[in-house]
Structure 1
Amino acid sequence: MVEITLRYSGFTLDANFLMIKQTEIEELWWYRYVFYIHVCTAIFALPAGFTQFSPYLLNAYPRVHRAIGYLYVCTILIFAAPSGLFIGSVANGGLTSILAFELLGLGWFYFTWRAVRLAVQRNFNKHRDFMIRSFALTCSALTLRFWKVALVYFFQPNPMDVYQIIAWLGWIPNLLLAEFIIYQKNHKL
């Protein structure tokens, strides 16, 4: 993900994915700005999220856990999820993809926001459940790219068909896995 993000470091309007978004760049004054806000901030959520599930970090360095948690939450709630909702509203692949990305963005925002509210209420078991859900959606950036490579390699479908499929595969399996993890955690014998 860092390598992909670095491709956009020149803030050019023809880098990688933006090559196929030229219509949006020309017709929607806000698209380029929102796209770069999304790319430049969402990359911080992945490493921040990976650290948050370490019992060692939580117990030995609770202030570090909290500080990284604030980075994760602020990145998502202020920048990454709202910008994702904007760019998702004009996703490639039509209504099918738009719906998938809008639901992803809304879920990402809601699960993160809910996790914060639960932490404030000191309900740390539920907080952890919602952070698992939030991070599952954060990881959609990784799984979307995995599915894209796998589908193209094995099936060589039409590019827009791929986009419509990965828009859903990028996050639904992650969320199902998160629910399984939460269920297992909450139903230990």
Structure 2
Amino acid sequence: MFKKAKLSILNGFWLLIFAYSCLLMAEITYRYRGFGLDANFLMIKQTEIEELWWYRYVFYTHVATAILALPAGFTQFNSYLLHKYPKLHRSIGYLYVASILVFAAPSGIVIGLVANGGLISIIAFELLGIAWFYFTWRAIDLAIKKRFDEHRNFMLRSFALTCSALTLRFWKVTLVFLFHPNPMDIYQIIAWLGWVPNLLFVEYIIKKKRDL
């Protein structure tokens, strides 16, 4: 009884953290509502905007679709929704997969080619985009083949990378507050910290579940 109550409190705590993080992401995304060329992050990407005609379009495609993946992906791990409303579970799952495979991951890979921080950052963001695409595609492929345990594992991996949008900003705020690093140096660090620890944590969860 006590163990179940403790687990419920812990789950509720993480739900609140995630909900608050999603609200922050929504607020950041809202700043781009006017599709301005000097909004928020784009203020430091004026060179790309002026020299690369496609950058603004790919950037806004990424911003508009990546935000959909966060709440859509989170609902996929709700066992109540899965068992009580399987059709809704699948519909939201298709939204999650489509937003990543068709728009968010490809656009992320493209804009990652000119990421701040030079080659170190570019490699990190390219690996992130490719892995995000592959894990998501593999998850839907396994679901079609009805290999649901493997499907769930790849969805966990995919969602860990989806959450890099949150963890990247968390690490940026934390490192800037603690160490006041050079602006370009911070991108080289958070480009890796934003997703590698997430993936390692999920791999630990998957391994622990297999060992049970």
TM range (shorter): over 0.9
Residue type at the aligned position of 2:84: A
> Which of residues 82, 95, 99 is equivalent to 1:75?
99
Residue type at the aligned position of 1:16: N
| Aligned equivalent of 1:184 | 208
| Aligned equivalent of 1:13 | 37
| Aligned equivalent of 1:151 | 175
CA distance in 2, matches of 1:4, 1:87: 18
TM-score by length of 1: 0.99
| Aligned equivalent of 1:32 | 56
CA shift, 1:184, in A, is 1.4
TM-score by length of 2: 0.88
> Which of residues 108, 113, 118 is equivalent to 2:137?
113
Gaps of 5+ in 2: 1-24
| Aligned equivalent of 1:163 | 187
Deviation sequence 1:43-82 (CA, Å, 0-9, x none): 0000001100011110011001000000000000000000
CA distance in 1, matches of 2:208, 2:88: 27
Is residue 55 from structure 1 mapped to residue 72 from structure 2 by the alignment? no
CA shift, 1:185, in A, is 1.6
Deviates more, 1:71-80 or 1:177-186: 177-186
Residue type at the aligned position of 1:22: Q
Deviation sequence 1:108-164 (CA, Å, 0-9, x none): 000000001101110000000000000000000000000000000000010111110
Alpha-carbon RMSD across the aligned residues, in angstroms, is 0.4
Residue type at the aligned position of 2:68: F
CA shift, 1:181, in A, is 1.0
Is residue 85 from structure 1 mapped to residue 115 from structure 2 by the alignment? no
Overall identity of the aligned pairs, in %: 74
CA distance in 2, matches of 1:38, 1:84: 6
> Which of residues 169, 173, 178 is equivalent to 2:197?
173
> Which of residues 26, 35, 40 is equivalent to 1:2?
26
| Aligned equivalent of 2:15 | none
The secondary structure found in structure 1 opposite 2:45 is helix
Is residue 45 from structure 1 mapped to residue 69 from structure 2 by the alignment? yes
